A and B are shown apart, each in its own frame.
Chain A
Amino acid sequence: MAEWTPEATDYLEGYLKQVRALAQSSGEDAEEIVSGLRDHITTKAEQESGALITLSALRQTLAAVGSPESIVEDSTNLRTRDTATAQTAPPPVIERVVVREPASKSGNVLRWVIVAAILVFLIPVVLAILSIIAAIAIPAWSRADESEQRAACAGNLKQIGLAIQHYKTDHNGTSPTAMSDLYPKYHDVADTFVCPGAANPPNRTGSIDEWSTYEFFTGADENAIVRDRSIHNHLPTGRNVLSEDGRVSFLREIGEIQTSRP
């Protein structure tokens, strides 16, 4: 059995301590590596240097064994190999090999390419669906809004019709000929004389005959007495018309489409 100087012993322990720390940080079996290395170094040193192992002799031995960094670095590089060893490894090691694969750059690039491809195809589809929904919904909302305005307008004309009846009662059956005959004496709510569908609401200054959006009318239809002044207050193009008997009808430019009860 060879004798080791204290300096050589300390140096060897320091060397092995360094290997142990590096191996542990690399996830290797540090104790197994250190155990094998210690066995190797002591055997080699004793065979090459004789009975006394000095620090100088140990350093010569370690020069052939390699630095702690080179030993563990080799070990770390070996872990990335794809050999039969990895295929026959127990579950924990197989997991390590399998888990490392997706972390590679090519794996990340592939993942991003797939995501980008999905987005490229998905975004136009989503936009197309939204366009279809908008194409269906917006006209529907518009129609609902227009319908409400037309109904409100019809309500105004019915109110005006009642005012006309009151006027006629007071005037021995004579019909009024202007809105100023009715407002404010027979109906004092100014809003009633303005169609809610009017594109440009009137200023309501001066005579009501100037700003009311309704007009008295005696045309081809003898029963029609008051109507929308403009054919563009409602869609489709046409007018709400108040008849002598109190009915309100919506008349398109090409004919009657809707009649409300008196």
Chain B
Amino acid sequence: MGELDSDIDNWTTQLRKGLLELCIVNVLAKGDVYGYDLVKQLSEVKGLVVTEGTIYPLLARLKRLGLVTTRLAESTSGPARKYYTLTPAGQRMRETMNTYWNELAGGVSRFQNEREGHHG
């Protein structure tokens, strides 16, 4: 792997980590979700979930911060499932993160469009 490839790989990893947290709180905002289902939903975004296991340290941290809670619920198709729920504090954090992300994404898009305009 060349130096440029390594840099891009590192950049995508860092970007993905921040976005993963943003996506988790937004998925949880729609309702309780159990871990496996959460991963499946997040995996629909291409490039967001590279290894499924990385979600769990993140969820453990959100729980420790009081942003999510967990509960076990019986399942008809297997062992009891652990459901994750966004707390009010988590909801507030989600709003803050979304606001920040929207401003950031808007600004970044503007730069991208300006750049394309220069070349066009």
A248 CA to B35 CA in the complex, in Å?
110
> A64 interface residue, CB < 8 Å from B?
yes
B interface size (C-beta, 8 A): 39
> A194 interface residue, CB < 8 Å from B?
no
Task: Decide: A75 and B96 in contact? CB cutoff 8 A.
Answer: no
Q: Which of B14-28 contact A (CB under 8 A)?
A: 14, 17-18, 21
> A66 interface residue, CB < 8 Å from B?
yes
Task: Decide: B57 and A44 in contact? CB cutoff 8 A.
Answer: no
Q: Which of A63-93 contact B (CB under 8 A)?
A: 64-68, 70-72, 74-75, 77-79, 81, 83-85, 88-90, 93
Shortest Cβ distance from B17 into A: residue: A78
Q: List 12 A-B contacts (CB under 8 A).
A: A28-B60, A32-B59, A33-B57, A39-B34, A65-B51, A66-B50, A66-B54, A74-B17, A74-B51, A75-B58, A77-B14, A84-B97
Supplied contacts A71-B51, A88-B92, 5 more A-B pairs, CB within 8 Å: A33-B57, A33-B60, A36-B59, A43-B81, A85-B67
Q: Which of A13-65 contact B (CB under 8 A)?
A: 19, 23, 28-29, 32-33, 35-37, 39-40, 42-44, 46-47, 64-65
A20 CA to B81 CA in the complex, in Å?
20
A216 CA to B72 CA in the complex, in Å?
121
> B100 interface residue, CB < 8 Å from A?
yes
Task: Decide: A66 and B66 in contact? CB cutoff 8 A.
Answer: no
> A98 interface residue, CB < 8 Å from B?
no
Task: Decide: B57 and A39 in contact? CB cutoff 8 A.
Answer: no
Partner of A28, one of B17, B53, B57: B57
> A1 interface residue, CB < 8 Å from B?
yes
Give the size range of A's interface with the partner: 35 or more
> A110 interface residue, CB < 8 Å from B?
no
> A122 interface residue, CB < 8 Å from B?
no
Q: A-side binding surface: helix, strand, loop or mixed?
A: helix
> A119 interface residue, CB < 8 Å from B?
no
Give the Cβ gap from A71 to chain B, nearest Cβ, in Å.
4
List A residues at the B interface (Cβ < 8 Å): 1-2, 19, 23, 28-29, 32-33, 35-37, 39-40, 42-44, 46-47, 64-68, 70-72, 74-75, 77-79, 81, 83-85, 88-90, 93
Task: Decide: B53 and A71 in contact? CB cutoff 8 A.
Answer: yes
Task: Decide: B35 and A89 in contact? CB cutoff 8 A.
Answer: no
> B56 interface residue, CB < 8 Å from A?
yes
Q: Which of A32, A39, A81 has the most CB of B within 10 A?
A: A39
Please give, as numbers and ranges, the residues of chain A lying within 8 Å of B93 by CB-CB distance.
84-85, 88
Please give, as numbers and ranges, the residues of chain A lying within 8 Å of B78 by CB-CB distance.
1-2, 42-43, 46
Please give, as numbers and ranges, the residues of chain A lying within 8 Å of B50 by CB-CB distance.
66
> B105 interface residue, CB < 8 Å from A?
no
Give the Cβ gap from A144 to chain B, nearest Cβ, in Å.
74
Do A36 and B82 form a contact, CB below 8 Å, given A29-B64, A75-B61, A84-B93? Answer: yes
Please give, as numbers and ranges, the residues of chain B lying within 8 Å of A71 by CB-CB distance.
51, 53-54, 56-57
Q: Which of B73-118 contact A (CB under 8 A)?
A: 77-79, 81-82, 89, 92-93, 96-97, 100
